A and B are shown apart, each in its own frame.
Chain A
């Protein structure tokens, strides 16, 4: 497969996954903001989203205050913000457009129609119709895109690069959601009703509320939430689940240059496979997640270098 084609596929799947995860993060923050609490606490969680994406500067250029409506406007439908859902859907579609010959008709039509529909909607329309509905829509479109990929695409190299993009992006995003929410939530520690709703919302943001109940059959505690999101190997949005799949797909596309990247992937995988939540918490969750995100970033770079960016003509 052409390196450029692989590159577009990889980024196409990363962008649609990113749009979905952003919708999930904004949704949980929005829902949490509806639970009675101080305005400061609410605005703090909105500010965290801007910080999470390192967008403080770009945000400050447009808005002088941090509040729910401004952050939503900026992160949902601002075309100038390259990290907004709007921009992610556009980039997913643009990458797909560049390789539409490699995609199945169903995949292309899904991403194209998603963009065409997203483009039509102004923020005010979305907000008035219920922003929660929009987040559901983004999640469904992402699911549809994944579904058409699974259901129609030949499972060759193209499929492996798409899966790699999806899973790397998801691992990064789950780590981010956990990092930012754990931070905001941890200091309360009042064991009150607020806590239940907030942890519950966090679990729902990664579709893990029912999963938690099934796995632990017990009350929700922060430690178990972290354990579930990091170490559960059957939960499709957990770090370990993502890394299992990343390593598997990486093995399938291996070439003569990719040894080091494969080693890095394997190490990170082993780290999760044999890790324990007790050690993570002792080490400090934030530090541990930061290290994880760094390594995911490096892995993405390795994949770009070995497969996507043109290799030297050293054959």
Chain B
């Protein structure tokens, strides 16, 4: 397979938007680079920018490897991506409002009704509940990959609790600290105002009549893999970081327990899945949530961000219909591509998938984090046979997609600088009619040679992402 290299063109020349970095790299002594890389590692450890890995020793924290070669996106390319993202997220929010109200898109037959209504992520509790600005996914982390020149695909729309934005911000901070001279030479669009932008959006979706809302970040606790990010965002926004046990509901109003007595809470940026939010409404064994919060939410006395029930729009079984949503709600052609997707619940698709397992990527419909997936071309015969059994046993639990020729980018690895595959997760913020984002996003890179899986839980690293201004 031929891969698009973000830095070099097919003839081995350096692309225009990388020329500045390339000449800097060539002029910088390797010892200085090595020293700076060690410095970065130390700093990340000291600041405690770590994540917990599930399945490893309890409470163990690991660094996400940081690579000092940035992923550079030229201005024109970013503008097109940005329009595509705005369009897509807008349509997804309209879809969510629709399925929890009049269900026009189902009546029009654009999506099979049972695909939506029987989906485990569909929350009947949300039927008829009106939300401020009709926005469900205030924060979306859309995963995008490039296959060729100007050819971008959306892999996933993460509309529940997308994470990683703190790495985007810390990577930039680190890069500026290590190599300030690079920023003097390049016009890199700033990203550090993300927390401000997020706070503004959260305040904008406060319940009706609240003029000075109290915003909080709700975390599952210190052992969650993204706990660093939760504390980081709360601190950057200057709001309280709460756990479920800090909140309680009285007369359908949410309060937090403070040293001066109960204080009303208006907007909750929750980093907790639907299932755990309210033991009275969802999983009864959840001690992380707040009993009675769903009732308060339905009564319109508190805003949850993201809304309950957004999972029905980013589920992999709904994903294939997003281009139709864009056409249906916006009457526009999609700007960003969807990856062609085989739905194994369809017998024809299943047959094709089983016949071509070695070429395809197979994913669990409800999976996330790079767990439970098969990358055909990179797998052994045993792994493929294992998935064949899984597919036959439970076809509707899986989808399959052609293996994309993900672009790569030069990256520091043990043997020197070598190309590694990467993706991009921009963080798209919505409130009312306004869809916004800081330029770029989080670039994740698969550090293992040939690997197409960039998730940090699977050994992926990150890079600073530069959108160059004209």
Interface residues of A (CB under 8 A from B): 1-6, 94, 97-102, 105, 108-109, 112-113, 116, 157, 161, 253, 255-256, 307-308, 310-311, 313, 315
Specify which of B46, B235, B241, B248 is in contact with A109 (CB 8 Å cutoff).
B46
Determine the distance from Cα of A187 to Cα of B377 in the docked complex, in whole angstroms.
83
Q: Is the CB of B240 within 8 A of A5?
A: yes
Minimum C-beta distance from B320 to chain A (A): 40
Specify which of B46, B222, B232, B246 is in contact with A2 (CB 8 Å cutoff).
B246
Q: Mark B311-325, 1 if CB is under 8 A from A, else 0.
A: 000000000000000
Which residues of chain A are within 8 angstroms of B234 by Cβ–Cβ distance?
Answer: 101
Which 5 pairs of residues, A with B, have the shortest CB-CB distance? A101-B235, A101-B231, A310-B257, A315-B262, A307-B259
B48 close to A (CB within 8 Å): yes
Which residues of chain B are within 8 angstroms of A109 by Cβ–Cβ distance?
Answer: 46-48
Determine the distance from Cα of A292 to Cα of B235 in the docked complex, in whole angstroms.
39
Query: Can you give 29 contacting A-B residue pairs, CB < 8 Å?
Result: A1-B258, A1-B260, A2-B240, A2-B256, A2-B258, A3-B246, A3-B257, A4-B243, A5-B240, A6-B259, A100-B48, A100-B231, A101-B231, A102-B235, A108-B47, A109-B46, A109-B47, A113-B46, A161-B259, A255-B260, A255-B261, A307-B259, A308-B259, A310-B257, A311-B261, A311-B262, A313-B262, A315-B261, A315-B262
Minimum C-beta distance from B23 to chain A (A): 34
Which residues of chain A are within 8 angstroms of B241 by Cβ–Cβ distance?
Answer: 99, 101
B242 close to A (CB within 8 Å): yes
Determine the distance from Cα of A99 to Cα of B219 in the docked complex, in whole angstroms.
12
Which residues of chain A are within 8 angstroms of B47 by Cβ–Cβ distance?
Answer: 105, 108-109
Given known contacts A100-B48, A311-B257, is B246 in contact with A4 (CB within 8 Å)? yes
Interface residues of B (CB under 8 A from A): 45-48, 222, 231-232, 234-235, 240-243, 245-246, 248, 250, 255-262
Which residues of chain A are within 8 angstroms of B248 by Cβ–Cβ distance?
Answer: 313
Which residues of chain A are within 8 angstroms of B246 by Cβ–Cβ distance?
Answer: 2-4
Closest residue of B by beta carbon distance from A257: B261
Determine the distance from Cα of A310 to Cα of B257 in the docked complex, in whole angstroms.
6
Which residues of chain B are within 8 angstroms of A311 by Cβ–Cβ distance?
Answer: 257, 261-262
Which residues of chain A are within 8 angstroms of B250 by Cβ–Cβ distance?
Answer: 313
Determine the distance from Cα of A166 to Cα of B13 in the docked complex, in whole angstroms.
62
Determine the distance from Cα of A200 to Cα of B186 in the docked complex, in whole angstroms.
64
Closest residue of B by beta carbon distance from A103: B235
Minimum C-beta distance from A262 to chain B (A): 14
Determine the distance from Cα of A313 to Cα of B250 in the docked complex, in whole angstroms.
8
Which residues of chain A are within 8 angstroms of B243 by Cβ–Cβ distance?
Answer: 4
Minimum C-beta distance from B258 to chain A (A): 6
Determine the distance from Cα of A313 to Cα of B258 in the docked complex, in whole angstroms.
11
Closest residue of B by beta carbon distance from A98: B222
Determine the distance from Cα of A256 to Cα of B46 in the docked complex, in whole angstroms.
41
